[in-house]
Amino acid sequence: MEVLLLTDGLPVGVSTADVLRRRGVPVRLVREPTDRDVARELKSQFSAVAVLARDDIVALRLALVVEHFAPGVPMVVTVFDRTVAGELRRSVPGCSVISPADIAAPSLADACLEGRPAGRPPLAVRLFDQVIGALNPAYAGARILIAGLLGLLLVFTLDAVLLATVLGIGSVDAIYGAASTLTTVGAEPTITSGPQWLKLISAANMLLTVAFAAMFTAGLVQRLLDPRLATIVGRRSIPRRGHVIVIGLGQVGLRLCTLLTRMNIPVVGVEVDPDAPNVRLARGYGIPVVIGHGEDRGILERLSAQRALALASVTSNELVNVEIAVAARAAQEALPVVLTSRHPRHNMTTA
């Protein structure tokens, strides 16, 4: 008996129909059907119905329409989102729901790790990377924050050392005087009896304190106002070596990130849309995320592409994936790049 295949134009729908026909299964392929089209088609008897759609809501709607006009007919539906899949299983108990993202993620992970050493680097190397990453974070706001903080610490240390060595005051008084300068309360009073060059240095320190304090405050405010998608240190800090860079946090990208994380492979995600639903989900999974264009060579360099295991470009736009691959090779020629494609004959390419 014939199989009814409903698709919203997804290329895999056509390829699936071709595969079934080559195996001797008669298929009735309907592209972008309306509810009336589905009702008309279901007037005939089908052994099963398959719904292959790019949009989860479209897939859910078509599945419910099929269940309404042909209750109990065996049905297979592709759904990316797990919440929508759970709702569909509750609404249509006999429906088999498969996730293309869950199917694609293991193959992509294997391609990213194929022939490459996996595993966490030694503890000393990880600690060194944490320090380097903290001093040179990927986000501009975090870099301003760190620069202001380091500048304030430098001014404080220099002032305290000069007070202790040149004026010969005690260490506690030197620290107190340096703190007074740092908080712009005023310079240590004993400086007035010191040499002229010390007064000039003290004046410069006070001016630098104002500048560094402004930088620190600006960076801190930006960090507080912006969503903290990546931390400076800790679990969601951006890895610096032996990691996989995933461009595009759609359903496939998010599943790939979570799979690599479960495999104990460091990962960082890049997403152009800060309001994308999976950006918030990635934060819940403890995956660091950078907002920006994956084809931006500067972002790739800040993500340590030169020390990454691989880069996976899994956006929904094939041309963007190719552009990202070119940018990645420009940043690091030897970087393995994994691409996804909607074309049924080229669903994954490893460069």
- Which pLDDT score is estimated for 56? 84
Q: What percent of the chain has pLDDT over 70?
A: 85
Find out whether 183 and 119 touch, Cβ atoms under 8 Å.
Answer: no
Place of tokens 């108990």: 93
* 329 falls within a domain: yes
* 130 falls within a domain: no
Given a cut of 60, whether residue 118 has pLDDT beyond it is: no
Same domain, 289 and 319: yes
Place of tokens 């052994």: 47
Given a cut of 70, whether residue 69 has pLDDT beyond it is: yes
Instruction: Calculate the alpha carbon distances from 239 to 33, 105, 225, 288, 299 in Å.
Output: 46, 21, 24, 9, 14
- Which pLDDT score is estimated for 209? 86
Strand order in 337-340's β-sheet?
A: 289-291, 267-271, 244-247, 310-313, 337-340, 348-350
Residues paired with 133 in a beta bridge: none
Same domain, 112 and 242: yes
Same domain, 242 and 301: yes
Higher pLDDT residue, 268 or 118? Answer: 268
* 185 falls within a domain: yes
Higher pLDDT residue, 7 or 140? Answer: 7
Q: Which of 137-146, 188-197, 295-304 has the lowest mean pLDDT?
A: 188-197
- Which pLDDT score is estimated for 345? 45
Structural domain count of the chain? 3
- Which pLDDT score is estimated for 185? 57
- Per residue in 51-68, pLDDT (tens digit) is 988 788 888 899 999 999
Domain residue limits at 194 = 140-225
d(CA 335, CA 313): 13
Same domain, 39 and 177: no
* 62 falls within a domain: yes
Find out whether 332 and 305 touch, Cβ atoms under 8 Å.
Answer: yes
Same domain, 82 and 22: yes
* 249 falls within a domain: yes
Same domain, 191 and 320: no
- Per residue in 242-294, pLDDT (tens digit) is 889 999 988 889 999 999 998 888 899 999 888 888 888 888 888 999 888 88
The CATH number assigned to the domain holding 259 equals: 3.40.50.720
Average pLDDT, the chain: 82
Given a cut of 70, whether residue 186 has pLDDT beyond it is: no
The CATH number assigned to the domain holding 180 equals: 1.10.287
Same domain, 207 and 333: no
Same domain, 242 and 338: yes
DSSP H helices in the chain: 11-22, 35-41, 56-69, 82-91, 100-113, 123-135, 140-166, 171-182, 196-225, 251-262, 277-284, 297-302, 318-331
* 70 falls within a domain: yes
* 319 falls within a domain: yes
- Which pLDDT score is estimated for 346? 44
- Which pLDDT score is estimated for 39? 92
Same domain, 8 and 59: yes
Mean pLDDT of 186-201: 72
pTM: 0.69
